[in-house]
A = this chain, B = another copy of it.
Amino acid sequence: MAGPVQHAQMRASNLALVLRAIADAGTITRVQTATATGLTKSSISGLVTDLVTAGLVEETEAVPGRAGDRGRPSAMIALHRGGAAGLGLELNVDYLAALMVDLGGTVRYRHVVTRDNRGRPPVEVLEELGRLAQEAVTAAAEQGLTLAGACVAVPGAADGTTISRAPNLGWADVPVELPLPRTAYGLAIENEANLAALGELWFGAQVPRDFVHVSGEIGIGAGIVVDGELFRGAHARAGELGHVVVDPAGPPCSCGGRGCLERLAGLDAILAAAGVDSRGELERRCAAGEPTALGAVADAGRLVGVALSSATNLLDPDAVVLGGVFAALAPWLAPAVADSLAAHAVGPELLVSSLGADAAVRGAAGSVIRRVIDDPATFLSAQG
């Protein structure tokens, strides 16, 4: 599976193990770290020293100690929140965003520019995103943070550092290069629905380690998280919830099939059924208790529930999370989803996203932090 295990890999693994133990605990002593990881005190000593000199971990002054107990008081260690930071960028249909989080997951910078990017030349949009990124880099420097890497969320599929296709933007095979300084982990590009799911995992409230995150927009996509990891499938095309068939006799879909969820319960379908032409108007009418609007949303909810019951039967998650437009419509949508989900599948909890539109950028920034925690050795060697 993996490559050869040499001494360097051994060290790298153990550094990651210790850093993760520290991250999970928040604040912890060296001895506690030793018992948590299974390594000895001596090893922890050296590993922690390395992490401290790299600026990833710091000794906190606040020593709550084991008050009332004898013995030398323990030095508490924790992630160094002033050390590394991850830059998340988002290139979406109607906005650009940059967001930076520190090692502890705190948002240190946020800038969103709303503008319709359809029809704009890719180069121009990427240049604007580059300027946003540079402003974020400047802000990082001002705060004394070391940028560990960057990740761009895009509404489509990515392959390496190119956007292979982004249908809603009308883009295909657009290489992404941004004026960023050299960082330990470089630049990554990832689908926006996947990153939103990860954002929910890392920053959302009460989200388990196995769930399906539904990004309801004009299209319907899902990010599948299995045991805290993104599930991508063999060709990185997993999670196409929008084309799960909910009615074999239903209307034809642009994908060539019939009765796809997206065709019947995507935003366009809901708006049409409700007889309105904007998302804001739909929400207003729902809030006002307008029956046609409520009915349209409930109908969509039932179908979403059917699709999610299939997903549940196949993937066996702990929970299903409604995100995107579905999160905004949750007060009227969720009950119908819950009903039809409960009728067809056992088990999964139904949750509503707590992050709103920021989910994907936060997931992007978080993915950088995640890499630092999972592979601190690369960060150390990049520091020199």
User: Which A positions have Cβ atoms within 8 angstroms of B?
Assistant: 1-7, 9-10, 13-14, 17, 20, 37-39, 43, 208-210, 222, 224, 226-227, 231-248, 255-258, 260, 303, 306-307, 309-311, 313-318, 343-347
Of the residues B14, B260, B314, B318, contact of A240 by C-beta under 8 Å? B314
CB-nearest residue of chain B to A342: B256
Q: Which residues of B contact A226 (CB under 8 A)?
A: 231, 233-234
Q: Identify the closest chain B residue to A222 (Cβ).
A: B314
A333 vs chain B, min Cβ distance (A): 17
Show 10 residue pairs from A and B whose CB-CB distance is below 8 angstroms, ordered by the A residue.
A3-B38, A4-B14, A4-B38, A4-B39, A210-B234, A233-B315, A245-B306, A310-B310, A314-B315, A315-B315
CB-CB nearest in chain B for A34: B4
Q: A240 and B313 in contact (CB under 8 A), knowing A5-B10, A210-B234?
A: yes
Give the residues in chain B near A311, CB-CB below 8 Å.
314
Bound Cα distance A344, B307 (Å)? 14
Question: How far is A236 from B241 in the complex, measured between Cα atoms in Å?
Answer: 21
Q: Which of B9, B235, B241 contacts A314 (CB 8 A)?
A: B241
**A314 lies within 8 A of B314 (CB):** yes
Kindly list chain B residues whose C-beta atoms are within 8 Å of the C-beta of A210. Answer: 233-234
Please indicate which of the listed interface residues A231, A234, A238, A346 has the most CB atoms of chain B within 10 Å of its own CB.
A234
Say yes or no: B235 contacts A347, CB within 8 Å.
yes
Q: Among A303, A311, A316, A318, which residue has the most Cβ atoms of chain B within 10 A?
A: A316
- Judging by beta carbons under 8 Å apart, are A343 and B258 in contact? yes
A8 and B247 alpha carbons, distance in the complex (Å): 55
A318 near B258 with CB under 8 A, answer no
Given A3-B38, A248-B246, A309-B245, check contact A224 B344 (CB 8 Å): no
Contact call B14/A314, Cβ cutoff below 8 A: no
Within the assembled complex, what's the spacing in Å between the Cα atoms of A256 and B7? 56
Copies in the complex: 2
Report A351 CB to chain B, min CB distance, Å: 14
User: Chain B: which residue is nearest A260 at the CB level?
Assistant: B344
Query: A6 to B17, alpha carbons, bound, how many Å?
Result: 12
- Smallest Cβ distance from A93 to chain B, in angstroms? 22
B243–A344 touching, CB < 8 Å: yes
Least Cβ–Cβ distance between A203 and chain B, in angstroms = 20
- Measured between beta carbons, the chain B residues less than 8 angstroms from A244 are 309-310, 313-314
Nearest Cβ in chain B — how far from A109, in angstroms? 30
A211 to chain B, nearest CB (A): 9
**A21 → chain B, closest Cβ, in Å?**
10
- Residue among B9, B43, B234, B309 making CB contact with A316, cutoff 8 Å: B234
Of all chain B residues, the one with the shortest Cβ separation from A302 is B248
A344 to B255, CA, bound (A): 8
- How many angstroms from the CA of A9 to the CA of B39 in the assembled complex? 13
Smallest CB separation, A249 vs chain B (Å): 8
Q: A4-B39, A5-B10 are in contact. Are A314 and B248 (CB under 8 A)?
A: no
- Contact check, A257 vs B310: say whether CB atoms are below 8 A apart: no
Q: How far is the CB of A361 from chain B (nearest CB, A)?
A: 25
Q: Inside 8 A of A258's CB, which chain B residues have their CB? A: 343-344
Chain B residues near A315: list those with CB within 8 A. 233, 238, 314-315
- The smallest beta-carbon distance between A38 and chain B, in angstroms, is 4
Flag if B239 contacts A314 (CB, 8 Å): yes
